[in-house]
Amino acid sequence: MTEKLKLSIKNLDVHYGDKQALFNVNLNIMEKEVTSLIGPSGCGKSTLLKCINRMNDLVEICKIRGQILLDSQDINEASQDPVLLRMKVGMVFQKPNPFPKSIYDNVAFGPKLHGMTKSKEQLDNVVIQSLSKSGLYEEVKDRLFEPGTSLSGGQQQRLCIARALAINPEILLMDEPCSALDPIATAKIEDLIAELKQQYTIVIVTHSMQQAARVSDRTAYMHMGELVETGLTKTIFSNPQHEKTQDYITGRIG
Amino acid sequence: MTDYREHIVKSFDEEISNVIHLTTKMATLVEEQYKLLYHVVDTGSPSTTEDILENEPKLDNYDAEIRDAVITLITLRSPVAVDLRDILTSLRISTDLERLGDYAKNIAMRVASLEEIPETHIKNDILRLLNLVQVQLKKVIDAYVSKDIKKAQEVLKNDLEIDNNYNVIYEEIVDVIKGKVSKLRLLTYTKLLFAIKTLERAGDHIGNIAEEIHFIVTGEHIDLKPDSKENNLEDALEDSNK
């Protein structure tokens, strides 16, 4: 662990119309660590995740108050370009959602869009490197031009991770990345997360307590829009300080 | 006493209760063994020694039953935090209980000839030591059932009294041995030395259980250094009260 602050969320309130979804959330996310967000459905985990790459911009009734500082820069400032932000902050969703394009084009899409490469050769390199990083290259190298949707669920998810990595992000957001996958595909993704954190800062939302315990360095427990407790994962799962956290992780009514 | 809410899955609660219930039953049987042992030391009754020997395999059964129940629970529920501490601790406590049961049996077989020695004060002192062990055992079982951390701390403090009594009796017996003693008597005294040492160890196992209770409730270990037990115990208990 580098113990370097990457992302600092300060006094964050989020409203969807009249309904308040997040209440004064304060959370520090360290560089090159895996932080997991856990909590019952509707507690605000995904809302918080979406704030980090401004996906809530697309929701008209969404109002955000407070600060989200990425490397000390407020991402919601008027001068900040959300497209550039999303280059720095990649996202992987619950259900694998490859574009209806070839495996190659799925990964090449981002770099092309952002004009990151100057030649076909460079682009090829980015695609191969990204697929290698997501552990998929060996499995698909002979069929790069087949549709991404022809892959298995677990492979599709790793394709989505490769797609996110292709634009060289600093932070990777993962919203229940394994909930649609079988145990073997899940194990591969978890393995991958452990590798990726050498290079990236990862924030993962998960409903699997064991997964949070296995993959993350720090865990934040959320309940009804509030951040109840945050700490080292080891502590949260062995000896949480807050009764609500204890009730939730031990499967009591929380 | 710490109360926790019920689990969403009811059978999870039942399974944890079952493990705790088995551990408590095992502890109660160990308590019974020491009651019988007191009778043996006091009266030399061979039939009571028989009773102790008969109970012994039941303790082994409890130990095995607790282990199976814990394995099933971990497999089915993947418990964490206080639940995990609760059931893992049952495993350790049952090991201590099993050992305590062994000790009761060993002592019962060693003290049968206590009647033969003329020094009645030694017998009385051993009875007093045994009584201290019984009181500690009862207290630690109470502390376990009610998850009473204060009571567990008292048990840890009181172990010193067992140690002190052991030292006194040890000196008494050694003094007798230093005088003129027949070879047959010498064997009896040696057995008694083993018996009191075993009682002193019994106190340590009761102390272990008290430490486990502390761990279940707080999630933290009471750390004791063996050399200067007294001072460190005070410090450790003070720390854990903060």
User: Percentage of residues in chain A with pLDDT exceeding 70?
Assistant: 98
CATH for A38: 3.40.50.300
B4 domain residue, yes or no: no
Distance from CA of A174 to the nearest CA of B (A): 24
Distance from CA of B213 to the nearest CA of A (A): 15
C-alpha A213/C-alpha A236 separation (Å) is: 9
Q: How many CB pairs under 8 A join A and B?
A: 42
Whether the Cβ atoms of residue B165 and residue B125 lie closer than 8 Å to each other: yes
B5 domain residue, yes or no: no
pLDDT, residue B182, reads: 86
Which residues does chain A have within 8 Å of residue B79's beta carbon, measured at their own beta carbons?
250
Name the average pLDDT for chain A.
Answer: 93
Span A116-165, pLDDT tens digits: 999 999 999 999 999 999 999 999 999 999 999 999 999 999 999 999 99
Span B139-187, pLDDT tens digits: 999 999 999 999 999 999 999 999 999 999 999 999 999 988 888 888 8
Q: What is the dihedral of CA A99, A105, A111, A117, to 10 degrees?
A: -170
Which residues does chain B have within 8 Å of residue A240's beta carbon, measured at their own beta carbons?
81
Which residues does chain A have within 8 Å of residue B83's beta carbon, measured at their own beta carbons?
250
Span A40-85, pLDDT tens digits: 999 999 999 999 999 988 889 999 999 999 999 999 998 889 999 9
Query: Pick from A203, A196, A188, A135: which is nearest to A168 by CA?
Result: A196
Which residues does chain B have within 8 Å of residue A233's beta carbon, measured at their own beta carbons?
none
Which residue of chain B comes nearest to A234, CA vs CA? B81
CATH for B74: 1.20.58.220
Span B218-230, pLDDT tens digits: 999 886 644 445 5
Which residues does chain B have within 8 Å of residue A238's beta carbon, measured at their own beta carbons?
80-81, 84, 219
Instruction: Give the best residue of A214, A234, A250 to mutate against chain B (max B CB count within 10 A).
Output: A250
Measured between CB atoms, does A213 come within 8 Å of chain B? yes
A153 domain residue, yes or no: no
Q: Which domain holds residue B72?
A: 10-241
Evaluated on CA atoms B44, B46, B48, B54, the torsion sign reads: positive
A254 domain residue, yes or no: no
Distance from CA of A253 to the nearest CA of B (A): 6
Which of the pair, A58 or B60, is modelled with greater confidence? B60
pLDDT, residue B225, reads: 45
Whether the Cβ atoms of residue A189 and residue A178 lie closer than 8 Å to each other: yes
Distance from CA of B93 to the nearest CA of A (A): 19
A72 domain residue, yes or no: yes
Which residue of chain A comes nearest to B78, CA vs CA? A210
Q: Does this complex have an ipTM over 0.90?
A: no
B196 domain residue, yes or no: yes
Nearest to A210 among B8, B78, B219 (CB): B78
Is the per-residue pLDDT at B241 higher than 60?
A: no
Of the pLDDT bands very low, low, confident and very high (cuts 50, 70, 90), residue B4 is confident
Q: Could you give the number of structural domains in chain B?
A: 1
Span B110-129, pLDDT tens digits: 887 677 777 889 999 999 99
- Give the mean pLDDT of A103-127: 95
Q: Which domain holds residue A241?
A: 5-99+170-249
pLDDT, residue B228, reads: 46
